[in-house]
Amino acid sequence: MRRRLLKLLACPDCRGDITGDFEEELVEGELQCCDCGRTFPVTSGVPTLLPEALSTQTATVAKQFAQQWMHYNEHRAEYRDQFLDWIKPVQPEFFEGKVVLDGGCGKGRHLRVASEFGPELVVGLDLGESVYVAKSACRELENVEVVRGDLLNVPFKEGVFDYGYSVGVLHHLPDPRRGFNEVTRSVKPGGRISAWVYGLENNEWIVHLVDPFRKNISSHLPRPVLRGISWFLAGILYWVIRLVYLPCKVLLPELKLPLKKYLLYISRFPHRELETIVYDQLSPQIAYYLPRESFEAWFEDLDDVVIGWQNEMSWRGFARKPD
């Protein structure tokens, strides 16, 4: 971590300033809260600022995702367009010169993309050990920092980011709206916020069929077993897309097929990425599917709100924090 990060950090327990005895960069060492005196380790250039009271459920979900991203750690060119689709109407030039928060950075896929758009700094936050995967993926990028912390209690000062986004993470938190509020709290007055979450609309079958299987069975399976199941199901999905959906797109464009828009959307990806998508559905113990009205309620105190339905399966939102 570089010294510039200190001006953004805050103690997750008392909100005090954070200090450290180093000049420009710290790879291994510790930071300290100026108020309560609590110390926080820095490992491989990643500071860990976790609250003393961290729920078991939150820690379990974080561990599951860390295992996922340490295994499925590839980065693909397709991530750029996918990221921009998730944060519409934001365009690349929007990032120029801004200090940006990635709330739930996982393996760093969006950190890498965002860093290319010219921000002053992009800070990735995640709870699990996947932060070290993200740090490794972005090590050569001068405008990226990674912090290990809790999205339900972010270790940042209030109002220090120009833009904060959380893509595909909030719906896996025990309290999704609180996570959104924490991202919003970290953004400056007049700054912007983006969020993308699973939608309930058109996903009722997942709630009734997949959700019980995930909660009671698949999320408890040994990770190698779950990866094997995901590999097998991804193979079926891969060939269904190529033998049914892609030909019908050309030959029978008016034909209505289940999940048509979404499956055509992910047809760009190889089998390995489809395996990641399947694993992502089967692995976590927590996954909320939010109806539009619930998602819109998150933005009720924000201005210039834009809500979009992505692939007729998920919700994305963009707004400005009032001055």
Tokens of residue 302, six digits: 């924000």
Domain count, the chain: 2
How far, in Å, CA of 307 to CA of 310, rounded? 10
Residues 39 and 90 grouped into a single domain: yes
Mean pLDDT computed over every residue of the chain: 94
Q: What is the mean pLDDT of residues 112-136?
A: 96
Asked if residue 93 is part of any domain, the answer here is: yes
Find tokens 């300290």 and name the residue: 32
Asked if residue 9 is part of any domain, the answer here is: yes
Q: The domain that contains 129 carries what CATH number?
A: 3.40.50.150
Contacts for 15-22: CB closer than 8 Å, 24+ residues apart: 15/157, 17/157, 18/49, 18/155
Residues 112 and 141 grouped into a single domain: yes
pLDDT number for residue 194: 98
Structural contact between residues 284 and 147, judged by C-beta atoms closer than 8 angstroms: no
How far, in Å, CA of 153 to CA of 163, rounded? 18
How far, in Å, CA of 143 to CA of 157, rounded? 19
Residues 180 and 267 grouped into a single domain: no
Residues 188 and 222 grouped into a single domain: no
Asked if residue 82 is part of any domain, the answer here is: yes
Structural contact between residues 105 and 137, judged by C-beta atoms closer than 8 angstroms: no
Asked if residue 65 is part of any domain, the answer here is: no
Asked if residue 61 is part of any domain, the answer here is: no
Residues 122 and 26 grouped into a single domain: yes
The parent domain of residue 95 ranges over 3-55+76-199+300-320
Asked if residue 290 is part of any domain, the answer here is: no
Q: What is the mean pLDDT of residues 240-253?
A: 95
Residues 41 and 159 grouped into a single domain: yes
Structural contact between residues 208 and 227, judged by C-beta atoms closer than 8 angstroms: no
Q: For the purposes of burial, counting CB atoms within 10 Å of the CB of 141, is it exposed (0-12), middle (13-18) or buried (19 or more)?
A: middle
How far, in Å, CA of 250 to CA of 11, rounded? 56
Asked if residue 173 is part of any domain, the answer here is: yes
Amino acid (one-letter) located at 192: R
Residues 108 and 236 grouped into a single domain: no
Residues 192 and 213 grouped into a single domain: no
Q: What is the mean pLDDT of residues 39-64?
A: 82
What sign results for the dihedral spanned by CA atoms 91, 94, 97, 98? negative
What tens digit of pLDDT does each residue of 65-117 get? 667 767 777 788 899 999 999 999 999 999 999 999 999 999 999 999 999 99
The region of weakest confidence among 30-34, 57-61, 186-190, 194-198 is 57-61
What tens digit of pLDDT does each residue of 42-51 get? 999 999 999 9
Residues 211 and 186 grouped into a single domain: no
Asked if residue 156 is part of any domain, the answer here is: yes
Start-to-end Cα distance in the chain: 31
Find tokens 């220090």 and name the residue: 160
Residues 43 and 127 grouped into a single domain: yes
Residues 88 and 116 grouped into a single domain: yes
- Residue 100 backbone phi and psi in degrees, to 5: -125, 140
Residues 87 and 153 grouped into a single domain: yes
pLDDT number for residue 53: 79
pTM given for the model: 0.91
